[in-house]
Amino acid sequence: MGGCSTRSSRRLRSLSLLGAAGLALTGCGAQQEPWFGGYVNTTSYPYFDFGTEAAGQSRTVLGFVVADPEDPCTPSWGGYYGLDEAQETLRMEQQIAGLREAGGDVVVSFGGAAGDELATACTDPDRLLAAYRTVLDRYDLRTVDFDIELDDLEDREANQRRAEVLVRLQEERDEPLEVWATLPVAPHGLDQDPVEVVAQLLAAEVDLAGVNLMTMNYSESKPAGQTMAAASEEAARSAHGQLTALWGAAGQDLSAEEVWHRIGLTPMIGVNDVPGEVLEPDAAAELGEFAREQGVGRLSHWSLNRDRPCTAEDGDPAEANDFCNGLEVEAGEFTRVLHQGFEG
């Protein structure tokens, strides 16, 4: 077995104290129980009452914190609301408190397809550190998600800056900070830019909890006739091999089981953004069973807002939107199907 990084080794002493909280130590860090947590598009209107609708999930992933368009080193929700404005308009703190009172927790996702991730816009590492810290402290976060897409994927300087600041964040905390990188994938696996993002995080010695694969919107990378479930399973297996090699190159020779535990899967439920790509509940159930069999560490979906059938006011159900999934299914059907067998 390869050794842990110096930073990870130092962290083991504090992690060992958490055994009574249900964490099992494995590899170079603490292995959480596999968890399910759907994403919420917090700024889509009409606003989604996630404090009530997501009660009962072990975790709920709130997206997205991005750079304020007028101040690149200031965090905002979607580029629309500062943290104080989000409290006033979205009742952010009350909703988070509601989930925690119901026994769950929240994960904040930075980045996404719209807006600039803070590390892309904020080039001052100290101010970037302060921006991330502000969000972590405000919402008392133990897990964060970095959804790196589109132009953010190609920005090597920003990706390096993010990695170095995340190490500083992890080192300054008294308790572990679980960091996930959410990246696009194809049936053939991760393309070069996502591979480079992971490599930079590991080279900087970020204690990376895992890589969450966006198993959706495959376009021409999916062979004609291949189902969405089959394409997603192939993507996961392909990425598993790549991630095994990446962790190995970083000095962590993980078992196949350990690598699966550091993989997450996030499908887009119902009608996807790519015409003709639709994830039906049966396919979601197949993907969920695959995730359980492989022992993936995380299962999510995009999104809780969309986990309902469309109405006439939502527009053409054949076109993806933020408010419904385009299928004639019961509200909450995808969450029920994917949640089975996961913590919470």
Band the pLDDT of 267: cuts 50, 70, 90. Answer: very high
List the single range of 8-22, 187-201, 231-245 with lowest mean pLDDT: 8-22
If we measure between CA atoms, which residue out of 4, 87, 15, 77 comes closest to residue 51? 87
Question: What is the rounded average pLDDT for all residues in the chain?
Answer: 92
Helix (H, G, I), strand (E, B) or coil at 304: coil
**Do the domain assignments include residue 27?**
no
Between 243 and 344, residue with greater pLDDT: 243
Neighbour-count burial for 201-229, b at 16+ CB within 10 Å, e otherwise: bbebbbbbbbbbbbbbbbeeebeeeeebb
**Do the domain assignments include residue 25?**
no
- Residue 222 sits in a domain whose CATH number is 3.20.20.80
Rounded to an integer, the average pLDDT of 3-31 is 39
**Do the domain assignments include residue 106?**
yes
List the single range of 13-27, 78-92, 137-151, 287-301 with lowest mean pLDDT: 13-27
What pLDDT does residue 56 have? 85
Residue 97 CA to chain centroid, in angstroms? Answer: 21
Listed in sequence order, the DSSP H helices in the chain are 6-16, 50-53, 83-90, 92-101, 118-121, 125-139, 150-154, 156-172, 192-203, 228-249, 256-261, 281-294, 333-339
**Do the domain assignments include residue 154?**
yes
pTM given for the model: 0.92
What pLDDT does residue 323 have? 95
Rounded to an integer, the average pLDDT of 248-259 is 98
What pLDDT does residue 342 have? 87
Band the pLDDT of 5: cuts 50, 70, 90. Answer: very low
Range of the domain at 279: 33-339
**Do the domain assignments include residue 2?**
no
Count up the domains in the chain and report the number: 1
Residue 320 CA to chain centroid, in angstroms? Answer: 20
- The single residue listed with the structure tokens 């975790």 is 59
Residue 26 has pLDDT above 80, yes or no: no
